[in-house]
Amino acid sequence: MKKILITGSNGLLGQKLVELLINTTENQVIATARGDNRLPFKDGYEYVRMDITNKEEVLAVIAQVKPEVIINTAAMTNVDMCESAKDDCWKQNVSAVEYLIEASAANNCFLLHVSTDFIFDGKNGPYKEDAEANPISFYGWSKYAAEKLVIHSNIRWAIARTVLVYGIAHDMSRTNIILWVKKSLEEGKNIKVVTDQWRTPTLAEDLAKGCYLIAEKEAEGIFNISGKDFLTPYEMAIMTADFFNLDKSLIAQADSTTFTQPAKRPPRTGFDLSKAKEILGYEPVSFTEGIAILAEQIK
């Protein structure tokens, strides 16, 4: 039994992790986030307020809790917002990681940090763990900088990189491609979806499971934790329409030049999962299975 502290417990991954840990393991779970606890269930874990951008608070909470493992799921992940709010992005994605590393060193914690495919330029995905990073957005640079801090620290660490996470938060606060396509088609709206970006979309529950497998083994190093299907958003939209028996003719193909977004997106990422499968026994669901899981949760 371990004492596991989770940052960002109000976020999608944080929620799924707390749920997974309290329902399927004997571990002692400490959930932390910046404001009030927004988890809909209150039993089986302890909640402590912790703003990861406040160094004193991070050091004090971790010294008090003394977890064996810290899983850092907190981050500023809105890629376009990171371009316009660079200071906030750096505070949440880089400075916060420095504080967590310092706290981990002081209390001998194993730190699992969650990172992203956006550290790559997307010229030749799917990527293995040892591929060379070359971010093309400020968000990507902030996540890459944080990885460097973790890798060059003197603590025990792991990095779980992921790709295009989808899932349903308890308060339905976040949308995702499946919900967006379903809602648009149900309303009879025409939608344009890109055909020139490739990803391995990741069910939030799978990412939580991958993080748990790393934490349980305290497996050190970098692990790719994503879905296994290599798809374009257009293909994801068609599969969603098929699953819910909705009108596919409303979905038009587009390329990314159709959309003006402040941040550049890597065209072709996606991950090779061999290492996570071999070392951790990680096995994600297919995208179709993922849609089915979301469909159940919507009910």
- Residue 114 phi/psi, 5-degree rounding, is -95, 130
pLDDT of residue 170: 85
In a domain, 193, yes or no: no
173 pLDDT band (50/70/90 cuts)? confident
In a domain, 37, yes or no: yes
Structural domain count of the chain = 1
Domain that holds residue 11: 3-168+202-226+270-285
In a domain, 194, yes or no: no
Instruction: Residue 229: name the closest of 163, 158, 175 by CA.
Output: 163
pLDDT of residue 279: 98
pTM over 0.85: yes
In a domain, 158, yes or no: yes
**Which contiguous run of DSSP H or E holds residue 50?**
none
Instruction: List, in sequence order, the alpha helices (H) in the chain.
Output: 12-24, 55-65, 79-84, 86-90, 96-107, 138-151, 177-186, 204-217, 233-243, 274-280, 287-298
In a domain, 88, yes or no: yes
pLDDT of residue 160: 99
CATH, residue 89: 3.40.50.720
pLDDT of residue 171: 80
Instruction: Residue 196: name the closest of 111, 135, 129, 265 by CA.
Output: 265
109 pLDDT band (50/70/90 cuts)? very high
pLDDT digits (tens, 9 = 90+) for 237-291: 999 999 999 999 999 999 999 988 999 999 999 999 999 999 999 999 999 999 9
299 pLDDT band (50/70/90 cuts)? confident
Q: What is the mean pLDDT of the chain?
A: 97
In a domain, 179, yes or no: no
In a domain, 174, yes or no: no
The answer, yes or no, to whether residue 174 has pLDDT greater than 80, is no
pLDDT of residue 206: 98
pLDDT digits (tens, 9 = 90+) for 141-164: 999 999 999 999 999 999 999 999
Write the single-letter amino acid at 197: Q
In a domain, 146, yes or no: yes
